[in-house]
């Protein structure tokens, strides 16, 4: 491994044994281009780490909580650029090259467009609105695979260690420093939550929670309403 690789892909997990191997296999082409894969486990009690061990460069044990885990993953390596990837989101094979181009062009941080995996026709509307809103506001969500230069990430102190909305909080701070690079290549994220809880109901819930967060609501209470137990990714 290079002393200072260009890209680290940091994946927070908790009890993802049934799906993690297939997910990591989609990232092996990027690993072949020099990206390092860092799996950050928040205390899984299944075989998540056993399934992942041969397919990643590092496994980091961490306290539970998506923001806590992503910060631990960032500290575990020296890569120039950090990309934070949800365990149910897949990167395009061109991600490494596109990130190099973006950083070489002066980008300090950014995200990808998103496609939601699922058959419900409203999901096509949701993904278009997500991509459009992100371009308009400069705010990115974790589903869009946020990436950031290490020096900037460390200067800001990493993700605020909130139980929910850590992605909104970080990107709100980042956009004050520089506009995001909005890459049009799409990551594919699972639509399982949307379809399980109802697409329209999930849209309304997320809009309401983000509005309440903007106006200062307690993130712990928002997390419970979203369906997270405290400090769970």
Task: Give per-residue pLDDT as tens, 136-154.
Answer: 999 999 999 999 999 999 9
Which CATH number does the domain housing residue 73 bear?
A: 3.90.550.10
Whether 233 is covered by a domain: the verdict is no
Domain that includes residue 162, residue range: 7-226
This prediction's pTM: 0.86
Query: How would you class 174 by CB atoms within 10 Å of its CB: exposed for 0-12, middle for 13-18, buried for 19 or more?
Result: buried
Whether 64 is covered by a domain: the verdict is yes
**Residue range 181-212, pLDDT digits in tens:** 999 999 999 876 665 666 666 666 666 666 55
Q: How many domains does the chain have?
A: 1
Length of the chain: 233
Burial 6-38 (b: 16+ CB within 10 A, else e): bbbbbbbbbbbbeebbebbeebeebbeeebbbb
Q: Helix or strand or coil: residue 192?
A: helix
CB 139 within 8 A of CB 133: yes
């Amino acid at each position: 491994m290079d002393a200072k690789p260009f890209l680290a892909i940091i994946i927070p997990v908790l009890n993802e044994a049934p799906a993690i191997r297939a997910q990591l296999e989609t990232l092996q082409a990027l690993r072949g281009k020099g990206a390092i894969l860092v799996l950050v486990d928040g205390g899984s009690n299944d075989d998540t780490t056993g399934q992942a061990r041969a397919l990643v460069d590092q496994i980091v044990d961490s306290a539970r909580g998506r923001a806590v885990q992503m910060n631990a993953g960032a500290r575990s390596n020296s890569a120039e650029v950090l990309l934070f990837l949800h365990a149910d989101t897949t990167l395009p094979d061109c991600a490494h090259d596109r990130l190099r181009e973006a950083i070489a062009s002066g980008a300090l941080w950014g995200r990808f467009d998103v496609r939601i995996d699922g058959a419900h026709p409203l999901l096509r509307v949701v993904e278009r609105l997500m991509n459009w809103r992100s371009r308009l506001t400069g705010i990115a969500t974790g589903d869009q695979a946020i990436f950031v230069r290490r020096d900037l990430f460390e200067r800001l102190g990493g993700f605020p260690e909130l139980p929910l909305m850590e992605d909104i909080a970080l990107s709100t701070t980042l956009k004050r420093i520089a506009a995001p690079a909005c890459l049009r290549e799409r990551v594919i994220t699972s639509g399982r939550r949307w379809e399980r809880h109802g697409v329209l109901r999930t849209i309304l819930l997320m809009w309401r929670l983000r509005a309440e967060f903007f106006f200062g609501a307690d993130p712990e209470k928002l997390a419970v309403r979203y369906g997270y137990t405290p400090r769970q990714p």
